[in-house]
Homo-oligomer: A and B are copies of this chain.
Amino acid sequence: MSLQNIRVVLVNTSHAGNIGGAARAMKNMGLSRLVLVDPEDFPSSDAVARASGATDILDAAQVVTTLEDALVGCTLVLGTSARDRRIPWPLLDPRECATASLEQAQQGGEVALVFGREYAGLTNEELQRCQFHVHIPSSPDFSSLNLAAAVQVLTYELRMAWLAAQGKPTKMEKLEATAMLDTQPVTMDELEHYFGHLEQTLIEIGFLDPAKPRHLMPRLRRLYGRSGISKLEMNILRGILTETQKAARGEPHKRRQE
Q: Which residues of A contact B (CB under 8 A)?
A: 21, 24-25, 27-30, 50, 52-54, 84-86, 88, 91-95, 135-140, 142-146, 148-149, 152-153, 156, 159-160, 163, 170-172, 175-176, 179-180, 182-183, 202, 204-207, 209, 216, 219-220, 223-224, 226-229, 232-233, 236, 239-240, 243-244, 246-248, 250, 253-256
With beta carbons under 8 angstroms apart, the residue of B180, B202, B243 that contacts A205 is B243
Quickly give the copy total for this chain: 2
Q: List 17 A-B contacts (CB under 8 A).
A: A21-B149, A25-B146, A28-B143, A29-B139, A84-B175, A137-B156, A137-B159, A146-B152, A152-B153, A202-B240, A205-B253, A206-B247, A207-B243, A207-B244, A223-B233, A244-B247, A247-B247
Min Cβ gap A33→B in Å is: 14
- A250–B250 alpha-carbon span in the complex (Å): 7
Residues of B within 8 A of A159 (CB): 137-139
B227 touches A142 (CB 8 A): no
Residues of B within 8 A of A27 (CB): 139, 142
Shortest Cβ distance from A229 into B: residue = B223
B28 touches A144 (CB 8 A): yes
- A159–B172 alpha-carbon span in the complex (Å): 23
B205 touches A170 (CB 8 A): no
With beta carbons under 8 angstroms apart, the residue of B88, B152, B163, B236 that contacts A179 is B88
